[in-house]
Amino acid sequence: MNRWLAGILDFAFPATCHVCDGKLAPHERFACSHCLSTLPRTGFHRRDLNPMEERLAGKVPFVRATGHFFYTRGSALSTLIQDMKYRRYPGIGEMLGRIVAEELFPSGFFSGIDLIVPVPMHFLKQARRGYNQTHHIANGISKAAGIPVSTALKASRSHKTQTSMTLQQRLDNTSGIFSLPYPGSLDNKGILLVDDVCTTGSTLISAASAILDNAPSAKISILTLGVTF
Ligand SMILES: [Zn+2]
């Protein structure tokens, strides 16, 4: 179904929650307040050397990192993320990005951040899907935190799906796929690298490495919606 038709149908028939199928209140979109409030928060941003930072430590230099929700297969969060990525609901990314940023903001998580950089998608894949969901997550964070989004990081080639790979295989698979065509744009900047889910961290490590190879004075922090454990 095309987006316009979906929009008209959403208007004609009351929208339901993507998670529980309950009817949405007029101010709600994609998911009801109850389903959103019960997504399992990690609280990692309140901990020194949290488990996600331990996962990435020693692989790439970074200031701080967090995944905001625990991600498990078949969970409410996975339903929302699957719909965001594969069922043409990029607005879910913006909604979740905004919620995450609003919850992180009081802790000072965004202090020193000048630019939000979404992990890019290769343009052919993006052309097929019609959008890069990570960009929509970054837009939601941007609106809540008041920090601009930069698209300086590009994916110069596509990578294979990584579901059954080890960390080393994933690092080899993603190594060299990211590039910074105009490196000067990130010099001396505090960068918040954003992705949907952190599993092994290989994509984030490759993306952060590409930024630091080209802009060594950049300071990188990392934020994902979900994190697996
Ligand atoms: Zn619900």
- Structure-token match 């529980």, residue found: 20
- Distance from Cα 134 to the centre of ligand 1, integer Å: 23
Q: What is the mean pLDDT of the chain?
A: 92
pTM: 0.90
**Higher pLDDT pick, 59 / 161:** 59
37-61 per-position pLDDT tens digit: 999 999 999 999 999 999 999 999 9
Conformation bin of residue 118: beta by default, left when phi > 0, alpha when psi is -120 to 50? beta
121-131 per-position pLDDT tens digit: 988 889 899 99
**Higher pLDDT pick, 169 / 59:** 59
Q: What is the mean pLDDT of residues 76-83?
A: 98
Contacts of 192 (CB under 8 A, 6+ apart): 110, 113, 115, 116, 117, 141, 147, 220, 221, 222, 223
Q: What is the distance between the alpha carbons of residues 17 and 203, in angstroms, rounded to a whole number?
A: 31
- The amino acid sitting at 149 is V
- What single string gives the DSSP state of each residue in 115-149? EEEEPP--HHHHHHHSS-HHHHHHHHHHHHHT--B
Helical (H) or strand (E) element with 68 = strand 65-70
The number of beta carbons lying within 10 Å of the beta carbon of residue 207 is 26
CB 180 within 8 A of CB 214: yes
- Distance from Cα 216 to the centre of ligand 1, integer Å: 44
For residue 173, pLDDT beyond 80:
no
Q: From residue 206, give the alpha-carbon distance in Å to each of 24, 25, 83.
A: 39, 41, 26
- Three-state DSSP state, 52: helix
Helical (H) or strand (E) element with 227 = strand 219-227
- Distance from Cα 200 to the centre of ligand 1, integer Å: 29
- Three-state DSSP state, 106: helix
Ion ligand 1 residues within 5 Å by Cβ? 17, 19-20, 22, 32, 35
Q: What is the distance between the alpha carbons of residues 195 and 206, in angstroms, rounded to a whole number?
A: 12
What domains appear along the chain, each with residue ranges and CATH number? 1-38 (no CATH), 40-227 (3.40.50.2020)
- Distance from Cα 22 to the centre of ligand 1, integer Å: 6
- Distance from Cα 14 to the centre of ligand 1, integer Å: 14
Least confidently predicted of 125-134, 161-170, 173-182: 161-170
- Distance from Cα 36 to the centre of ligand 1, integer Å: 7
- Distance from Cα 127 to the centre of ligand 1, integer Å: 31
Given this model, what pLDDT does residue 144 score? 98
Given this model, what pLDDT does residue 72 score? 97
